[in-house]
Amino acid sequence: MHNVLVTGSNGQLGSEIKELSSEYRYNFFFTDRETLDITDKNAVAAFVEQNNINVIINCAAYTAVDKAEADETNADAINHLAVKQMAEISKEKNIQLIHISTDYVFDGKNYKPYNEEDTTNPNGVYGATKLAGEKAIIALNPINAIIIRTSWVYSSFGANFVKTMLRLGKEKESLGVIFDQVGTPTYARDLAKAILEILSCRPELDSGSQVQIYHYSNEGVLSWYDFAKEIMRMAKLECVINPIETKEYPTPATRPHYSLLNKSKIKKEFNLSIPYWKDSLDECMKKMGERR
């Protein structure tokens, strides 16, 4: 029986794993910043030891992309140094680590979907600290460690683009939304299911294994403008969505203009069927009671 530690369990992905956990035959231990400080290696090591943890799913992250530009110390502590410590603990105790990363490790200048081997080149502090976390895991190489990069995450839990658009769509007659950033949303519930499926079919620990990187998002291609238009359509809101360029909405952090992820590897190795983005958005909207 796996004893699974899930960090960041009050975030979007952690909350989805928590809700799905009863469907899987594992003992889950859900923690957040109040119950387990992931930047404290001794605290994490003690928790792992006391609860006989043999899998860590690290959903915790510093995700305030713009705030990170002026708060690099904290972003690095959570996205890099804490991840390094979890990798050290995983290696010392021969337990599996599944770590969630981001499309922001790329600069967004590609012309085709990024695969796992493409050159990384983050634009800002958030992406740089997440990449440093990835590199720490790879350097330490705990057995059977997995890094999953994802993009544009939303959920019925937490704060996200979908909820922001629904709120603004009810308050305003029109909104300007960026059309020159292209990617694919990820319904956190779909990613949670994928992680739990990977956990159930992952082979036994192999001391010769290397860290594996995978990409996961929903299927399809769109801009933030397209995403907002579909949210309004599904919610039957009258708010008019107008396309604007990135330069018309300046932010402290530079966003990738192109962040499509090639998901061939994760689909092939784990026989995953990934839902189309509109189908997943429809499911999430229904769950929130916003589908009209």
Residue numbers annotated as active site: 126
Vertex 186: Cα angle to 184 and 188 (nearest 5) = 175
Contacts of 260 (CB under 8 A, 6+ apart): 110, 112, 113, 114, 182, 183, 184, 221
CB atoms within 10 A of CB 205: 13
CA 161 vs CA 62, 137, 248, 274: distances in Å: 17, 30, 18, 21
Helices marked H in 208-258 — which ranges? 224-235
Collapsing DSSP states into helix, strand and coil, what is residue 163? helix
Instruction: Report the alpha-carbon distance of residue 105 to residue 98 in Å, rounded.
Output: 17
In contact, 78 and 26? CB cutoff 8 Å: no
Q: How distant is the alpha carbon of residue 193 from its chain centre?
A: 13
CB 168 within 8 A of CB 239: yes
Residues sharing a CB contact under 8 Å with residue 270, sequence separation 6 or more, in sequence order = 194, 197, 198, 201
Q: List the one residue out of 94, 11, 102 whose CA is nearest residue 53.
A: 94
CA distance 26 to 249: 45
